[in-house]
Amino acid sequence: MKRGERLPRDFYARPPAEVAQALLGMRLVRVLAGERLAGRIVEVEAYNGEDDPASHAARGPTPRSQIMYGPPGFAYVYFIYGMHHCLNVVTQDEGQPSAVLIRALEPVEGIERMRRIRWMRLIRGRPDRELTSGPGRLCQALGITRDQNGMDLCDGNVLFIEADEGVPAGEVVVTARIGVRGNEWARTVPWRFTVGQSPFLSR
């Protein structure tokens, strides 16, 4: 897998924690009105199957979680708190509902456009580190909404992930997931992976 090549479906056909860690350092690309908006993935979380109380698949298949039950390499975008979107990539084989939530990016391409999308209605003067440092923020910066739900990341020219320099294992920091409300296990399982030194992490 060379730099700039699109990640193949095989990449996603693994357990979500494994895919999550492997996604660090890869480049998420969104083509909006012909322009590439892209960032280096620096924070992700794994959500694994019906046994994970924090997963949207925890109570079996529903219209919303259906996409998680499908084949790997597809986008799962959901709407939350009445105003934000979150982007996931579906992992593992069909029938095994799991996904990786993209939580933060380091902006790389189309930064000026991201600033305009994020802050056209807000008071100016916010630092670039707030551009894509959070699941809702990055979706807004890249113009990702439910319109992108179900898109095939392995075949299409709107939303995809390219191979890039990975992250050395020594730079990866593993913690509990952020913002999950479930039981003790769900709140403490170490399924959040970050590039430790990055100033572009959430919270």
Based on the shown chain and the rule CB under 7 A, indicate whether residue 81 belongs to the binding site for DNA.
Answer: yes
Contacting DNA within 163-202 (CB under 7 A)? 177-181, 202
Quick one: 3 or 146, whose CB is closer to DNA?
146
Quick note: the x/- pattern for DNA over 141-170, rule CB under 7 A, is ------------------------------
Determine the interface stretch with DNA among 34-42, 84-92, 152-160, 161-169 (rule: CB under 7 A): 84-92
- Are residues 72 and 92 in contact, defined by beta-carbon separation less than 8 angstroms? yes
Contacting DNA within 9-68 (CB under 7 A)? 45, 47, 54-56, 59, 62-65
The first and second tokens of residue 12, run together, are: 């996603």
| The only residue of 13, 14, 79, 115 in contact with DNA, by rule CB under 7 A | 79
Determine the interface stretch with DNA among 6-14, 31-39, 133-141, 151-159 (rule: CB under 7 A): 133-141
| The only residue of 28, 86, 161, 189 in contact with DNA, by rule CB under 7 A | 86
Q: Please tell me whether residue 9 adopts helix, strand or coil conformation.
A: helix
Q: Which of 80, 76, 51, 52 lies closest to 66, judged by CA?
A: 76
CB of 4 to DNA, least distance (A): 27
Q: Please tell me whether residue 188 adopts helix, strand or coil conformation.
A: helix
One-character DSSP codes across 103-144: EEEEEEE-HHHHHHHHHTTS-S---GGGSSSSHHHHHHHHT-
Quick one: 1 or 178, whose CB is closer to DNA?
178
- Buried-state track 126-156, b at ≥16 Cβ within 10 A, e below 16: eeeeebbbbbbbbbbbbbbeeebbebebbee
Q: Which helix (H) or strand (E) is 163 found in, with range?
A: none
Q: By CB under 7 A, name the binding residues for DNA.
A: 45, 47, 54-56, 59, 62-65, 76, 79-84, 86, 88, 99, 101, 118, 122-123, 130, 134-138, 140, 177-181, 202-203
